[in-house]
Structure 1
Amino acid sequence: MNLPRTRTLRPSLRRRLLLALLVPVGVLLLLDALLTYGVALTYANRVHDRDLSDDALTLATMLGNDKLDGELSPQARFLLEYDPDGHSYFAVSSARHGLLASNGQLSPPAQLPAIGARPILYDAQLAKRALRAATVRIAMRSDPGDSLVVTVAETLRDRHRQAREILLLASVTQTLLIACVLSLVWFGVGRGLRVLDPLTARLAARTNELTPIDGPDVPLEIRPLTRTIDALFGRLRSMLALHDRFIADAAHQLRTPLAGLSLHVERAMADPQPETMADTLAHIRRLVQRVARTSAQLLALTRAQAPPPEAGERSLLDLGQFIPGAVAERVHEAIRAGIDLGYEGSGRPLFVLGDAASLQDLLDNLIDNAVRYAGRGSTVTVRLSARADGGANLSVEDNGPGVPPDALPRLSERFFRAANHNEEGSGLGLAIVQRIAERHHAEVTYRLVEPHGLCVEVRFPASSETTVGPA
């Protein structure tokens, strides 16, 4: 059974911006409604409290002019008990005669007001119903020794109803205003996003161009993105240039040995004598070895010229352990070449932050260069020492014929070989050393050794994470 595909909603900058505005606006609208209702209720309470105080004072004044004789007159009782809504309550008591009239057991205020003072407003309860009450106390004109306490109360229903009416009127106006604002925001977001159209058009018009896309028409908010894209284009340009250079170098270096292979094959085919075949195969073997070494050197140079690894891909290496082990692996090869290969070091830890594989290539190329050009019977010494600033010096010194002084500045160039050397080589070894050293922020120096010979020194900087053990 084929299930229907669920359509994934692609991210939208317009939708994200509108949601980022709609949600806060909705929350603000809710908070504004609560605030409006609170203000309206406060206003309604003030108006009703004032009316309630006036009613209590008016009623007390009217009753104070009557002669009570222990009870209210029928006219006064009718006035008190008349309540078309059934939301009003009262209580009238005399200091001399006690409770005269009441339509509910209203609780008195905590303290009675003074005679002739303004009415006291307070909250009361009657049968679990919240009330607002006003109590006033006046002297009886008909009986100077008596005083009258009048309490008038009402429910809170009218107050909340008036607050809701005010809220409804305000909400309609505010909702229309917010709708107008959101319409303007929708239009403004759409118009504001059009500023990206020139950048989009420039990118759409490109084919193989990797030049920077940042320009004066790029908005400030988009500039971090364009700078990131430009940095990516820069890395792509470097990789493409490295690719093109590798192809050019391979074509340059492999053309001669491949032509030699073709020539010796033709020679063997033209003269199949055993002596000729043996000599031809010896030449072919030497040329194949040269091609293999050149290919390996080109790949090593390409790796060395590639962008450096991220900081997380490097590790803290102890050269005091790494270098002696790497030198020991080359001793048997040096013996077969008639070279005395040795190592000198302090034996203390010397830490650098780097890539073990790259440092292995660096040391191998230094030793290969010394062994190849020093000649049989020579001595090659690998030294490792610490500097006062916490860095490390790695040097490879030989007592071979050396190089002319004017050739020292060019030893790191690709395919450069000193004129006084007849040994076959690719001319890439020291170029690889230079590139690997640059990746590790190290410095490569060359100096001649008296009476003859060459010393190549790599100066590694001190690592901020170095942990130096006891000497």
Structure 2
Amino acid sequence: MIVSLRLRLLLWLLIPLTVYVGVSTSFTHDSAVASADLVQDRALLASARMIAGQVTWEDGAPVVNIPPAALEMFASPDHDEVYYQVLMDDNTLLAGRPDFPVDIDFSLIAPAYATTYFNNQPLRVVSYVRALYDNGTLRMVAVSVGQTMRGHAQLLDELWRPALHRQIVMLLLAIALVVVGLTMELRPILRVKDELATREPNSLTPLRAGELQVELRPIVVAINQYIQRLNTQVAVQKRFIADAAHQLRTPLTLIDSQIQFARQLNDPQRLPQVLQALQDSSRNMTDLTNKLLQLSQAEASNSTAFPRQPIELVGLAATVLEELVSLAQRKHIDLGMETAVDEAWVMGSQALFSGMLMNLIDNALRYTPEHGKVTVGVALEDNKEVIITVADNGPGIPAEVRERVFERFYRNAAPDQHGAGLGMAIVKEIVQASHGTIILGTDRDGKGLTVTVKLPICTRP
């Protein structure tokens, strides 16, 4: 397979040019053959007519006197041989060769031409028949003149070979101009290649189209779009790393301080208390790490390459409720589910939707006081959207800070309440990646918090 673009383009141009030259040369050759035939045939016919005009009656018998001019017209530097025959309709030979290689048809009205072989040489022949009268008697006389074809071949070469040479020169010139043109026209794309090759490894600035041709500009546009997506991903990764480093520093510092305190502790009875504090700090750090990983996955789900499949939310919500029922029981919270549909299908990732529901219900359980109520609802709206609601009768969120709860590490909670401030940020990333919307509100009485998530419905697989 040819991998060179320059060579492939050259072949695409060379093939039709070669076909054109071949067809044009063939037509030129045919035209040259016709012209050479015409020149030779006219000379043969003129000679035959001149000879036929010299056939006369003398003393009641036909005689012929061959004029030198009838044969001198065939003189050429190629030394062609000329043969002739004058024959009466009773096969009486008046002049010429008796072994002339052409049979005469005395009924001919127009001159007849033929190409044959005589003495191992190609011979062009014309036969001409005329009427001869004598005292009311009609006789027919046939004159045949033949000439070898060395002069014909020479004339043919003179007619078509120069045209062939011109066509070949034009083809070679076209190839040279195409090669030069391709080399010059490919320079802009080579400059783009050089710009990419000389860049720093961490440089993600867009490429400059410069003098790039209109047909090649979409390549640079596509590369720049890819660079933009890379910039977005790199920015997300940098922000994640910075957030993780910042947020993990505090629990790690706390654990280190608790370990130092335990090493300096002289009272063994206080050791269990210190170990419990260490365990709580470790759990908090584990929870924070899991939240950060969920956030990273949620951000990655915005990519078109992220795998998606139909997910059934009614069953998934019931599964998440089962996992959190123990937390609700510890706080004596009435945790339930209300749905008017048996199935609700959306497109996405089961792990991410499970994380979304887990964060929404977990937040509701954490901020709802004991003996409160948390209700999860799943419904369909106009058979176009799936509506997920998580409602509680807790303290709610003031209207002026509802948008801020989607910010990373923002916590609208009391100081003694645990949390990383990432739950709602994770939920928003997942909802946006699924082309949905999320709204924070209250119940009909303006109390508690109701989170409403709307997701596009998809067909059941």
Residue equivalent to 2:366: 372
Alignment match of 2:37 (pick from 31, 45, 49): 45
TM-score (norm 2): 0.80
> What secondary structure is seen at the aligned counterpart in 1 of 2:406?
coil
Deviation by residue 1:225-258 (Cα, 9 ceiling, x = unmatched):
2222222321221222112111211122212222
Cα distance in 1 for residues equivalent to 2:154 and 2:343: 85
How far apart, in 2, do the equivalents of 1:312 and 1:426 lie?
26
Q: What is the one-letter code of the residue matched to 1:112? A: L
Change (3 A) 1:126 1:385: farther
Deviation at 1:134, TM superposition (A): 4.2
Letter in 1 for 2:296: T
| Alpha-carbon spacing, 1:407–1:36, altered in 2? closer, same or farther (3 Å) | same
Q: Distance in 1 between matches of 2:60 and 2:433?
A: 113
Contact 1:405 / 1:448 at 8 angstroms: preserved in 2? Answer: no
1:106 aligns with 2:100: no
CA contact 1:331–1:341 (8 Å) conserved in 2:
no
Q: Which residue in 1 is equivalent to 2:159? A: 166
Match of 1:179 in 2: 172
Structure 1 residues 137 and 247: CA distance shift in structure 2, 3 A:
same
Query: Are the structure 2 counterparts of residues 48 and 392 from structure 1 closer, same or farther at C-alpha, using a change threshold of 3 Å?
Result: farther
Which structure 2 segments of 5+ residues have no match? none
Higher mean alpha-carbon deviation, 440-449 vs 339-348, is at: 339-348
- Relative distance call for 1:467 and 1:139 in structure 2 (3 A) is farther
Deviation at 1:292, TM superposition (A): 1.0
Q: 1:54 aligns with which of 43, 46, 49?
A: 46
Corresponding residue of 2:456: 461
Match 1:31 to one of 23, 38, 44? 23
CA drift of 1:435 comes to 1.2
Structure 1: distance between partners of 2:134 and 2:384: 110
Mark the CA change 1:85 to 1:206 in structure 2 (over 3 Å): closer, same or farther.
closer
Structural mapping, 1:281-292, within 5 Å: 281-292=275-286
Q: Which residue of 1 aligns with 2:318?
A: 327
The code of the aligned residue for 1:264 comes to Q
Query: Distance in 2 between the 1:351 and 1:130 partners?
Result: 90
Q: TM-score w.r.t. structure 1 length?
A: 0.78
Deviation at 1:372, TM superposition (A): 2.5
- CA deviation profile, 1:129-174 (whole Å, cap 9, x unmatched): 9976544442214465233344556677765554344333233333
8 Å CA contact 1:441–1:461 kept in 2: the answer is yes
> Which amino acid letter does the alignment assign opposite residue 50 of structure 1?
R
Where in structure 1 are there 5+ consecutive unaligned residues? 1-8, 114-118
User: CA separation of 1:142/1:343 partners in 2, compared to 1, >3 Å: closer, same or farther?
Assistant: farther
Please tell me whether residue 227 in structure 1 is matched to residue 224 in structure 2: no
Match of 2:355 in 1: 361
Contact 2:116 2:125 in 1 (8 A): no
Letter in 1 for 2:250: T
Per-residue CA distance 1:256-302 (angstroms, 9 max, x = gap): 22222122222222225344211112221111111111111111112
Query: CA 1:91–1:454 in structure 2 vs 1: closer, same or farther (change >3 Å)?
Result: farther
Post-superposition shift, 1:212?
A: 1.0
The count of aligned residue pairs is 445
Once the two structures are superposed, residues 49-91 of structure 1 have per-residue CA deviations (whole angstroms, 9 ceiling, x without a partner) of 333433443333333x356978765859xx89x9998887767
1:391-430 deviations in Å (ceiling 9; x for gaps): 3222222333322222222232211222458531111111
- Compute the displacement of 1:344 (Å): 3.4
Q: Distance in 1 between matches of 2:427 and 2:117?
A: 97
Deviation string, structure 1 residues 89-137 (Cα, Å, up to 9, x no partner)? 7676555x3575661243759x832xxxxx3455677799997654444
Q: Does 1:438 align with 2:422?
A: no
Decide whether aligned partners of structure 1 residues 92 and 287 sit closer, same or farther in structure 2, where only a CA change above 3 A counts: farther
Aligned counterpart in structure 1 of residue 251 of structure 2, from 243, 257, 260:
257
CA distance in 1, matches of 2:85, 2:196: 86
- Contact in 2 for aligned 1:52/1:133 (Cα 8 Å): yes
- Secondary structure of the corresponding residue to residue 140 of structure 1: strand
Compared CA separation, residues 428 and 160, structure 1 to 2 (3 A): farther
The DSSP-based 3-state class of the residue aligned with 2:390 is strand
In structure 2, give the amino acid aligned to 1:106: D
The reply on whether 1:206 has 2:199 as its aligned counterpart is yes
Check 1:337–1:318 CA distance in 2 against 1; reply closer, same or farther (3 A cut): closer
